[in-house]
Structure 1
Amino acid sequence: MMLSTNDQRVYPAVGGLSRGTSSRVVSRTHTDVAQREAMKPEQLQHIWIITGPTGSGKSTVAKYLKQELKLPFLEGDDFHPQSNKDKMSNSTPLTDADRWDWLISLRDTACEILCPSASNNYQAPSGVIMTCSALKQKYRDVMRVAAYGHPTVRIHFIYLKAEEDVLMRRVHERKSHYMKSHMVHSQFEALEEPTAEWDTLAVDVTAPRDEVQRRVSAVVAAKLAEYEC
């Protein structure tokens, strides 16, 4: 499974393509669907994207899943350039332009991990876990490109859901983190909740940590069980 790291745009929908290319896309889509339906569970690779505004506990949940599923983990914050971190530490919201290269870099790194290579002894892992706020649908669409044309890959967003005042309080209590409590409000202003999107698993994270971990484990186990049917 391999994607070009030079990809800089989300692929357009069939309706946005020229007449000469639409039939080829439809044909390829039908082929991909057939291939996906024929996949055995052990052949699948899952990208688990832990999403939500700052303060929702993305890193904590992701590290827990890393231990439970024994999968590689990518911390989304590590992929932000220093200019983005400087903006956020100064309570300056990121623009779409600020986020674009960050999203592509994170996505392409996940794709590289899922490819057989010398670094994994040509035994690619069954999945990868990453944190990514993915506040807007178009940001999530960038990540979904990872599965285009690759029938083994399944994308799952685990949306950590909580009220703004809860996350504001959590971030206010953080020590030595570049994201300040002021950023919570700006992220909620930008947030387009993914609860109606088919590949999203929503988890209420207002409970204590142990209960949140139990809920996440339950939704992940239930999703994986669907592929065993």
Structure 2
Amino acid sequence: MSEQTIQPDSHLPQQQNFPPTPPSEPATDLAKMSSNSTTTSSSRLGTSSSEQHKHIWVITGPAGCGKTSVAEFLESTYSLPYLEGDTFHTPENVKKMAAGQPLTDADRWDWLILLREEALKALSTPTTSGVIVTCSALKRKYRDVMRVAAYHHPHVRVHFVFLKASESVLMDRVRARQNHYMKDYMVRSQFESLEAPTREEGDVLSVDASGSSAEVQRLALGVVDKVMQADA
């Protein structure tokens, strides 16, 4: 895996004005299908270059990596709105996952577009500087769908906080869960689908998620805080 995991005292590379990558098919068609809602969001958010950047923080990684824990910690630390991605799945998607059936790309497109539009809607409040979204975003084309949020909003920045840990560590964590639709055998499926971010994806911040919940929260806070300070 070629991306660099960021430790708390590491120097964060200078933030790039990373141009969103055009989504792979069929995400491109679906992005076009949602253009009306994106345009509507654009009129609410405005596009003045003098405005302070607004940030969409997408907390990503396979099941068991600690997405919810990190998102809730960032929510309380920064007082930002938080969208739990799982709650936006259709009942059909939840039923499939509960039955141990991996979701297909077709199952995910509308869900990803909904998350993107809800994130933009959350940013439409003038006093809101950012929003936190949890989404596994295992494949680059899934991340590309979220990147579309910045297409018509020059002052919006999309960032992915990628929580990285070994399959065995995440398997143990998921096995310890109770009353959750994601089962341990789904971790294997997610690792088979995982397209780990590379350096080419300059909007991805990798965090070592193999430690305790508090340690992972601290590392995630460190990378987010550096970006926030650079933008202040």
Q: Which TM-score applies when normalising by structure 1?
A: 0.79
Aligned residue in 2 for 1:56: 65
Aligned residue in 2 for 1:216: 220
Does residue 139 of structure 1 match 2:142?
A: yes
User: What letter corresponds to residue 78 of structure 1 in structure 2?
Assistant: T
Distance in 1 separating the partners of 2:163 and 2:205:
9
Aligned ranges 1:11-26 → 2 under 5 Å? none
- 1:168 is aligned, of 139, 146, 171, to 171
Distance in 1 separating the partners of 2:106 and 2:127:
32
Aligned ranges 1:104-119 → 2 under 5 Å? 104-116=113-125
Q: Shift of the alpha carbon at 1:124? A: 4.3
Does residue 192 of structure 1 match 2:201?
A: no
**Looking at both structures, which has the greater relative contact order when contacts are Cα pairs under 8 Å and sequence separation is at least 6?**
2
Aligned residue in 2 for 1:67: 76
- Could you list the per-position Cα deviations for residues 130-168 of structure 1 after superposition, in whole angstroms to 9, with x for gaps in the alignment? 100001000000000001021110100000000001101
What is the count of residue pairs matched by the alignment? 190
Does residue 47 of structure 1 match 2:56?
A: yes
Aligned residue in 2 for 1:31: none
User: What letter corresponds to residue 160 of structure 2 in structure 1?
Assistant: F
Aligned residue in 2 for 1:26: none
Q: Shift of the alpha carbon at 1:192? A: 0.3
- Could you list the per-position Cα deviations for residues 10-41 of structure 1 after superposition, in whole angstroms to 9, with x for gaps in the alignment? 46xxxxxxxxxxxxxxxxxxxxxxx89x546x
Higher relative helix content: 1
Higher-Rg structure is: 1
The secondary structure found in structure 2 opposite 1:128 is strand
Q: Which runs of 4+ in 1 moved over 3 A?
A: none
Answer whether contact 1:110 1:128 (CA < 8 A) is retained: yes
Distance in 1 separating the partners of 2:170 and 2:215:
17
Q: Shift of the alpha carbon at 1:223? A: 1.3
- 2:186 is aligned, of 179, 183, 186, to 183
Answer whether contact 1:113 1:124 (CA < 8 A) is retained: no
- Could you list the per-position Cα deviations for residues 63-112 of structure 1 after superposition, in whole angstroms to 9, with x for gaps in the alignment? 00000111000000000001111111111110000000110111111111
The secondary structure found in structure 1 opposite 2:163 is strand
Q: Which TM-score applies when normalising by structure 2?
A: 0.78
Does residue 87 of structure 1 match 2:91?
A: no
Aligned residue in 1 for 2:16: none
What percentage of aligned pairs have identical amino acids? 54
